[in-house]
Structures are given as structure tokens and as C-alpha cells.
């Protein structure tokens, strides 16, 4: 059974940082590209960052480019999202997802397995 479990969310002040983790089990992690998505109340879920199987290619949404960094540790079957210079607009539920592809994209419909999400709240 595939499990995707996000952690690391919480409350941060504007300008601060948080690091999200996503632990995956039940699949060959090193055969799956990984993505981070977020959904704020009243908004659609959006893709914000993704990373290739090998970790050498990443894609970012314009809204987070230069502030967020995605990385992965295949030995630990874990993907991370380092979030710096946080803004109140970053407040959302953050989700991790996996797709059996070498390379990634930010479209939700590409992804097969999803976690339950971790809440990030940024205060001004």
C-alpha cells in the first residue's frame, strides 16, 4: 500500500522559513518524480514545485520561484520543500504527490499518489 505523508507545516511569520517533508512508502521512490502542490481556501489546487527522479531537474511556479527550493533524498524516500521569505499569500494546505515518470510537471492530473496535506499559515 502506497503511503505519502507530509509533515513540517505550521505557523510562521512573514519573512520567515519553514521546511516541509514528504515521506513515501510502498513504491519504488527512485522511479517517481515528485511534486508539491498547495490549496488556499476558496482557490483551486496549484502546482508550485516538482523534481525529477534523479533530482537534477526542478520546475517552479512563478509565485514561489527564488523563494522555495525542492529537493529529494532517494535513500530516505523523502522529498523536501524549503520555503524562505514566506508571505501571507503562501498560507494554504500543502500537498505532496508522486508520478511514475523520470521528469515532472506542475499539472495535477499527472500525479497518481497524493498525501493528506500539511497546513502552512503565514502571519503578517
pLDDT digits (tens, 9 = 90+) for 92-119: 999 999 999 989 999 999 999 999 999 9
pLDDT digits (tens, 9 = 90+) for 13-49: 999 999 999 999 999 999 999 999 999 999 999 999 9
User: How would you classify the pairing of strands 33-39 and 92-99?
Assistant: antiparallel
Residue with cell 535513500: 75
Using pLDDT thresholds of 50, 70 and 90, give the confidence band for residue 83: very high
pLDDT, mean over the chain: 97
Q: What angle do CA 35, 72, 6 make, to 5 degrees?
A: 60
Q: For residue 101, what is its C-alpha cell?
A: 515518470
Taking residues 79-83, what's their average pLDDT? Answer: 98
User: How would you classify the pairing of strands 58-60 and 92-99?
Assistant: unpaired
Amino acid at each position: 500500500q502506497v503511503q505519502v505523508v507530509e509533515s513540517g507545516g505550521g505557523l510562521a511569520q512573514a519573512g520567515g522559513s519553514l521546511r516541509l517533508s514528504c515521506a513515501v512508502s510502498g513504491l519504488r521512490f527512485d522511479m517517481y518524480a515528485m511534486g508539491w502542490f498547495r490549496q488556499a481556501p476558496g482557490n483551486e489546487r496549484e502546482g508550485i514545485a516538482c523534481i525529477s527522479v534523479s533530482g537534477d531537474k526542478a520546475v517552479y511556479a512563478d509565485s514561489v520561484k527564488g523563494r522555495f527550493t525542492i529537493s529529494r533524498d532517494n535513500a530516505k524516500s523523502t522529498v523536501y520543500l524549503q520555503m524562505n521569505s514566506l508571505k501571507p499569500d503562501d498560507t494554504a494546505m500543502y500537498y505532496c504527490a508522486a508520478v511514475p515518470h523520470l521528469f515532472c510537471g506542475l499539472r495535477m492530473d499527472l500525479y497518481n499518489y497524493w498525501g493528506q496535506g500539511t497546513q502552512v499559515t503565514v502571519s503578517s
